Amino acid sequence: MAGGGELQVVSTVRRSSYGYEDLIACGRGELFGPGNAQLPLPPMLMFDRIVEISEEGGEHGKGLVRAELDVKSDLWFFACHFKGDPVMPGCLGLDALWQMVGFFLGWLGSPGQGRALGLGELKFSGQVLPSVKTVVYGVDFKRIMRSKLVLGVADGWLAADGNVIYRAKDLKVGLFRAGEPAPQGA
């Protein structure tokens, strides 16, 4: 916080899309500044590019993010999940949605490091197999709260080659400044 207890906003140039090298820079802490929202680095970075990000639009009219992953049969998780029956772990698709919510909060200029805080509901109706060519992820924001805690709440989905197979409601990500503990049981 700034000296007067006000929420400090990080200065950043906002673009409407980001390539792989931009995402890696975000993972190194270079996109939104030190101590602010970072994506994980590979192999935990779960998308190759953000193709659209906007403070307007989306299902609830409060902003959206769309990202893509090029699926290749040699992706790290196919070798171990499961031997002879390769499938992308569902938790990795879910983590991608949380990653996108955190990225959006940093993109808005809000300070702090992102942490997933939970979700309301999750439904799987298919699998990401090595035969899939492209995964498209979407998050549509329902609410952004900016007080002592910055909190994003969004609904999300994952489509494998155009078929929506994951739906998540009320994804929650908070931004925390160094030294502030994340709430327990959030």
Residues 6+ apart with CB under 8 A from 26: 18, 32, 37, 38, 39, 103, 106
Residue type, 123: K
81 is catalytic: yes
**The CATH homologous superfamily of the domain defined by 20-176:** Hotdog Thioesterase (3.10.129.10)
pLDDT value at residue 177:
86
pLDDT value at residue 183:
63
Q: What does the alpha-carbon distance between residue 149 and residue 175 come to, in Å, rounded to a whole number?
A: 7
- Reported as half-sphere exposure (CB side, CA atoms, 13 A), residue 5 has a value of 0
Residue type, 132: V
- What the block records as the tokens of 59 is 């299902």
pLDDT value at residue 179:
72
- What the block records as the tokens of 90 is 């569902």
pTM of structure = 0.91
> CA dihedral defined by 41, 44, 45, 46, rounded to 10 degrees?
170
pLDDT value at residue 141:
99
Cβ atoms of 110 and 6 within 8 Å: the answer is no
pLDDT value at residue 13:
72
Q: Domain locations in the chain?
A: 20-176
Nearest to 112 by CA among 53, 24, 29: 29
Kindly list the averaged pLDDT for each block of 10 residues, start to end, along the chain of length 186: 43 86 97 93 99 98 99 98 98 99 97 97 99 99 94 99 99 89 60
Which candidate in 81, 146, 167, 169 is catalytic?
81
pLDDT value at residue 34:
87
